Amino acid sequence: MLKPSDIRTIATFLSPQWVKEAAREYGNGHLVYGAPLAFKESRDLCRNYLTFCRQRDKITTLDLRPAQALRACGFAGKVPILKPSDRNRTIEISMWDRPAHIPGFILKDLSDPWEIVPLIGQFFVENPDLNLALLDNQVWQRPSPELMINIPNGDLTQSVITDVRKMTVRTLKRYLVIAKVKFNKARDSELFSTGQQLLAAWMKDGMITSPASAMVAIYPVDALGWNALVPGNGIPWCFCISKKGISWSADHRVFDGKDTARFVKFMEKQ
């Protein structure tokens, strides 16, 4: 069992303050450039420290639940290498210090709202110039079209990140069920509450890497509603899907109305 001092040490290596300072050093002052190496060092330090704790306390078993939960939810692995976008949004970013909503909706009777989710992933493949992130007051080009799918899980909203393009609805739902099971198995881990605190700290401080192209939620009733854009998480698209259609919000600091119109044209072809 980890000591309180051990948990504090691990939390330090994962904190925004520690990771951002490392990112500045690796990126010669640029947070986003240095983020991949900073997060790699953070993970290596945590792994080495946990190995030290096991050897110090003569622990012969491994608690893999937190690692398995992170992997199942798509939060483990390589940090994407982002490139500056050609879009000059200096004026728009200076106008708003929080997301500025461009709302939109498509009225459409859907037998299964989940069928739309892989199409959203495909939209970013066919429109890579709209696969963007807003980090450190700059627009960045994302290299891949992962989605952050938000699902209810007891008293929490759980986020699962994955590339959905080639998934069937059945495969996607099974993937989310497995992620929920892995997540729930780790909820009694001694690191779980610390993880929640770290997430809150990162959300307050602002992310330095982009976890997904868009946030997606399935609306639980037959109505339309707009997803709320989250400040500081680097995701400038949010989609909400119900049996009555698709609604979305796009961050005006990154996009204009003509950009969201391209999603309407894309869906008209499906």
Query: What DSSP character marks residue 231?
Result: T
Percentage of the chain beyond pLDDT 70 is 99
What whole-number percentage of the chain has pLDDT above 90?
71
DSSP conformational letter for 190: T
**Same domain flag for 87 and 199:** yes
pLDDT at 72 over 80: no
The residue behind tokens 């948990």 is 7
Q: Report the pLDDT value the prediction gives residue 62, as an integer from 0 to 100.
A: 66
Q: Would you place residue 212 in the very low, low, confident or very high pLDDT band (cuts 50, 70, 90)?
A: very high
**How many structural domains compose the chain?**
2
Residue 97 has pLDDT above 80, yes or no: yes
32 and 83: one domain?
A: no
Same domain for 122 and 50, yes or no, is no
Distance CA 135, CA 234 (A): 5
Task: Give the domain-ending residue among 62, 78, 109.
Answer: 62
Q: Are residues 221 and 258 in the same domain?
A: yes
Amino acid 12: pLDDT: 93
Higher pLDDT among residues 222 and 226, named by residue: 222
CATH number at residue 135: 3.30.559.10
Average pLDDT of the chain, as a whole number: 91
pLDDT, position 82:
96
- Count the neighbouring beta carbons within 10 Å of the beta carbon of residue 1: 8
Same structural domain for residues 240 and 259? yes
DSSP 8-state class, residue 143: S
Sheet holding 245-251, edge to edge: 101-107, 245-251, 237-242, 214-218, 147-153, 156-162
Mean predicted confidence (pLDDT) in 179-201: 88
Radius of gyration of the chain from its Cα atoms, rounded to whole angstroms: 20
The last residue of one of the domains, among 43, 62, 81, is 62
Domain match, 27 and 86 both: no
Asked if 96 and 21 sit in the same domain, the reply is no
Question: Exposed, middle or buried by CB within 10 Å (0-12, 13-18, 19+), for 132?
Answer: buried
On whether both 137 and 217 belong to a single domain, the answer is: yes
Q: Which domain holds residue 185?
A: 69-268
Check whether 86 has a pLDDT greater than 90: yes
